[in-house]
Amino acid sequence: MTSSKTLLGDGEHIVKKLWELSAKIYYCYPQYVGNRKVGNKWWRKLLIVWLLFWIVVSFSVLWYMNSKAVEKRKETLTSMCDERARMLQDQFNVSMNHVQAMSILISTFHHARNPSAIDQCTFASYTERTAFERPLTSGVAYAVRVLHSERKEFEKRHGWSIKRMDTREPTPVHKDNEYDRDGLEPSPIQAEYAPVIFAQDTIAHVISVDMLSGKEDRENVLRARESGKGVLTAPFRLLKTNHLGVIKTFAVYKTDLPSNATPNERIQATDGYLGGVLDIESLVEKLLQQLASKQTILVNVYDMTNISHPISMYGSNVSSDGLEHVSALNFGDPFRRHEMRCR
């Protein structure tokens, strides 16, 4: 007997076996089978049809159940991924709202008052005491706008000179890096400067450093004051925790700026720049722990600003060809695109 391996072949094989069995019954116990050739032939055909019918039904049920299971898994993945993306966005925005509120604090108590009600000591104490509000922000710092014509008087008042960022390092130097401030050179002559005047104690070493002297920081600062929105850097490794993080920068304007101001008006009305360092990796980690459920999913977060070169912000880079769902993330910076991929 030929035993073909296809499904239909297998079915035929079973039919043949049953056939032999029925023939055996027919010859050994003729009284049970009936005694006419016509009835015999009719029964054989009915048996074949009956068997084929049930084979088709079985495979249909199998296929239906399987497609239902895949659909269900896809639906679960989509809803879980969207939920996580929305919550990450919410928590990011809560932290960012706090940093933005600090920019209003600076505007209200530093620039709108003469003499200013804020000095480094007050700033450090306030940021320290309100740190519980920004659990994933490792530090905030405020850099003031100084025109070249005001530089001399500014340096005399503060008792230090405006420093430029250490440019010996090939990678852009961020506020979070710990380097010896006293070893830094004074900033060369520029049209304007953005020296840090207040900083949370955790990043106090950046005080007096000019934020316009670092390439990436300069871009951020200029973009923030033009747009009036919080802008983000590309993700980079934070020195202390070695986690991936970003810096969000807000411009602080004079209070009389109308809300529909042009970019040029915004630049003119700029008083300074407030930056906060955010630990994205801890943020996502905490979120996933909060939402831990029976069904676990693999989460990756990417900075997709350069589509051909996505930068990982969270998660391992294991590729798989299983089900994947992509949820968009909006961190408030229209220039940057972020997304969450779940598997």
**Interface residue list for a copy of itself (CB under 8 A):** 31-32, 34-36, 39, 79, 86, 94, 97-98, 100-101, 104-105, 107-109, 113, 117, 122, 125-126, 129-130, 132-133, 290, 293
Q: Determine the 3-state secondary structure of 311 from DSSP.
A: strand
* Least gap, CB of 291 to a copy of itself (angstroms): 8
Q: Which is nearer to a copy of itself, 217 or 271 (CB)?
A: 271
Q: Which residues contact 41 (CB under 8 A, 6 or more apart)?
A: none
For the CA atoms of the chain, what is the radius of gyration? 35
The whole-angstrom separation of Cα 96 and Cα 277 is 10
The gap from C-alpha 272 to its chain's centroid, in whole angstroms, comes to 28
* Least gap, CB of 40 to a copy of itself (angstroms): 12
Q: Shortest CA distance to 331 belongs to which of 323, 339, 319?
A: 339
Q: Which is nearer to a copy of itself, 122 or 227 (CB)?
A: 122
Q: Which is nearer to a copy of itself, 64 or 156 (CB)?
A: 64
Q: Which is nearer to a copy of itself, 34 or 334 (CB)?
A: 34
| Residues 306/58, Cβ–Cβ less than 8 Å | no
* Least gap, CB of 116 to a copy of itself (angstroms): 9
Q: Shortest CA distance to 217 belongs to which of 162, 268, 173, 272?
A: 173
* Least gap, CB of 152 to a copy of itself (angstroms): 28
* Least gap, CB of 303 to a copy of itself (angstroms): 25
Q: Which is nearer to a copy of itself, 126 or 179 (CB)?
A: 126
The whole-angstrom separation of Cα 244 and Cα 282 is 9
